[in-house]
Chain A
Amino acid sequence: MDMKRDYFEDVQLLKDRAQKIWFGILIITLILFPFVSPNYYIYLINYIAINVIVTVGLNLLIGYTGQISLGHAGFFAIGAYATTLLMLKLHVPFLLAILIAGFLAAAFGFLLGLPALRLEGPYLAIATLGFGMAVTTIIGRVPLFGGHMGLQTPPLSIGPFVAKNDREIYVVIMLFTFLMTLAARNITRTRVGRALIAIRDSDIAAEALGVNIAYYKTLAFAISAFYTGVAGGLMAFVLGFINPNIFDLLQSILFLAMVVVGGAGTILGSVMGAAVVSFLHIKLEAVQNIPGVGQFLVYLSQKWLSVSGLPNFTFVLFGLILIFIVVFERLGLYGIWLRSKIYWRTWPF
């Protein structure tokens, strides 16, 4: 019948006209954004975009391969410190520095992935938790890394172009985020991605089909660490300084929360999860200023808790969200999105 079926359609990013139009609108929005937005929001978007990179990378590991990591703040730190130090001490140009940093993180990811080969879920979680904590301990104590005072990040420059403010950093970050998200999508849709999902769904069947589990598990760790390392390098420029406290256990859990909130095993979900969690994280730093809720929380703090500890509300909320998702909607935001799509398609019947 349809002998001339074009299988390329199966793997194309944009399958029909509607998708092409939406994609075009997205790109135009991203390009126009810095011209129309106030500075504060550009900072926010930069922060979100970097977390998108981490979440996409971490999702390759957790959502696609079914392995867990509670140590990604460690890779984040490695990327940030490596980029900063390469530029500060060895005057390596930015692009090269961040690439080296990414591969350095990947190398650490590969090494951590080796013992991970023999580990099932709980053990792996523990080992990666230990890794993350070990990294912060080490960078906090080595003078080269600035100890607990941390380091000042050099200005971001590519050739003659020097990014002086958030608006100019935005260009660099958004390019990275865009390309790396697309790359992840390509990886997950083809041979490597299928092998990763296969390992998650049934490792023995994957093995029996010739998938080298050891190779792909360590590969997943390395790719995931690469993404996180590059993101860490970029984050150094957004923050302007780095110190060990940025990369603690809570940061690792926050990354995990982004994956879980967005939906494990989807690229689109990763983007949504990173956006929502990062946005909340930044917004809730000044939760007392939010009308209504803020006043209530301040009242609550005065009566039962403490006002100075109010920023901790974020953690309580994120913790509850994590539990809520496991109990009610395991696919996270992506699941909700899928459902509402079906709902609107059949609406109003």
Chain B
Amino acid sequence: MFGQLIINGLAVGSLYALVALAMVIIYKASEVPNFAQGEMAMVSTYFAYMLLISNQVSWHVALLGTLVFAFALGMVLEFLFVRRAKDPTVLDLIIVTLGMQLVLHGLAGWKWGPDQKDFPLPISDTDVVQVGGLVISYLNLTTMIAALLLMGLLYAFFQYTKIGVAMKATQQNWMAARINGIRTNHILGITWGISSVIGAIAGVLFAPTSTLDPHLMWDPLIKGFAAAVMGGMNSLVGAALGGYLLGFIENLFGLYISLEFKSIVAFLAIVLVLWFRPSGLFSKHYERRV
């Protein structure tokens, strides 16, 4: 029973971890919690849906096309909207991302209507693999592997590629990076692109277990935030761990306390973590400088 719980927790936690990673990447770069993250992923998922049902291309190509679309979407949003605010405060940036959230939500509803669609990903949610008494669906397995793979890629990207290092530098000290010849504006655009891609992967993997409509990512959004907050909003590793932890706690709550109210766990997690460790479970406390 407990083993199964861990497996289920890891599977759903992988999704939360992905959404959290997507948020943290942007948060680290510009200190803005991206409230449009969910809708960006939702729109990308719809894009994948269009390619998949058109039967024009194989599903591999469709998914690849989605990633390209997601990357472009992230960069375009950053360029069109986020960059336009001059000397923005945190509140300003939050409002801009909320504005983008409304725009994307509205556009998706306008284009695809409010009715719920089945997302035709050819990876089964019902066929299962059995490993020593534990059951895991193909989709969950794919999600878990994809998440791990992505984390590995991200790590390598930040560690070994020129752009990745430049991104890290920009996150740590924007001004110094700029002086050293890094084009910080480009870096920010790429950051949004990458974040959007990660979100899109989460969306595509989540949609088959749910139904595709413009509200698709609301629940994952708040859970991604919860995971990111648990990790401290500033740490990629923390966000990933936070995602898994949340997935696990949620399943534990569902099993022993209440299945119906499982989805408020995220909120409770946010409040409790922020109350006892305002800078996250996995990061050091900081003292305010005056």
Question: Do A and B touch (CB < 8 Å)?
Answer: yes
A interface with B by C-beta (< 8 Å): 62, 66, 68, 70, 114-115, 118-123, 125-127, 129-131, 133-134, 137-138, 141, 204, 249-250, 253, 256-257, 260, 264, 301, 304-306, 308-323, 325-327, 330
**What are 24 A-to-B residue pairs whose CB atoms are below 8 Å?**
A115-B274, A119-B274, A119-B278, A121-B91, A122-B27, A122-B33, A122-B94, A126-B229, A129-B35, A133-B267, A137-B263, A253-B98, A253-B102, A309-B112, A309-B113, A312-B106, A312-B110, A316-B102, A319-B100, A319-B101, A319-B102, A319-B103, A322-B102, A323-B95
* Contact call B222/A312, Cβ cutoff below 8 A: no
> Which residues of A have CB within 8 Å of B233?
122-123
B101 CB, nearest partner CB in chain A, Å: 7
| Number of B interface residues in the complex (CB < 8 A) | 54
Among B81-89, B152-160, B196-204, the one that faces the other chain is B81-89
Most buried by A among B91, B94, B274: B91
A328 CB, nearest partner CB in chain B, Å: 9
B242 CB, nearest partner CB in chain A, Å: 12
> Which residues of B have CB within 8 Å of A250?
102, 105
Contact of A320 among B27, B33, B103, B261 (CB under 8 A): B103
Q: How far is the CA of A138 from the CA of B268 in the complex (A)?
A: 13
State whether the Cβ of B264 lies closer than 8 Å to any Cβ in chain A.
yes
A-B contact count, CB below 8 Å? 161
Q: How far is the CA of A305 from the CA of B114 in the complex (A)?
A: 13
B40 CB, nearest partner CB in chain A, Å: 13
* Residue ID in chain A nearest B103 by CB atoms: A319
B interface with A by C-beta (< 8 Å): 27, 31-33, 35, 81, 84-86, 88-92, 94-96, 98-114, 214, 218, 222, 225-226, 229, 233, 260-261, 263-264, 266-268, 270-271, 274-275, 278, 290
B241 CB, nearest partner CB in chain A, Å: 18
Is chain A's interface secondary structure helix, strand, loop, or mixed overall?
A: helix
* Residue ID in chain A nearest B102 by CB atoms: A319
Contact of A322 among B86, B98, B226 (CB under 8 A): B98
Contact A138/B264 with A319-B103, A322-B102, A323-B81 known, Cβ cut-off 8 Å: yes
Is chain B's interface secondary structure helix, strand, loop, or mixed overall?
A: helix
* Contact call B225/A129, Cβ cutoff below 8 A: yes
* Contact call A323/B84, Cβ cutoff below 8 A: yes
B98 CB, nearest partner CB in chain A, Å: 5
Q: How far is the CA of A19 from the CA of B91 in the complex (A)?
A: 34
* Contact call A319/B99, Cβ cutoff below 8 A: yes
* Contact call A316/B90, Cβ cutoff below 8 A: no
A21 CB, nearest partner CB in chain B, Å: 37
Q: How far is the CA of A130 from the CA of B86 in the complex (A)?
A: 29
> Which residues of A have CB within 8 Å of B271?
115, 127, 130-131
Contact of A256 among B95, B226, B274 (CB under 8 A): B95
Most buried by B among A250, A253, A323, A330: A323
> Which residues of A have CB within 8 Å of B98?
70, 253, 256, 319, 322
> Which residues of B have CB within 8 Å of A308?
113-114
Contact of B35 among A119, A125, A134, A301 (CB under 8 A): A125
* Contact call A326/B263, Cβ cutoff below 8 A: no
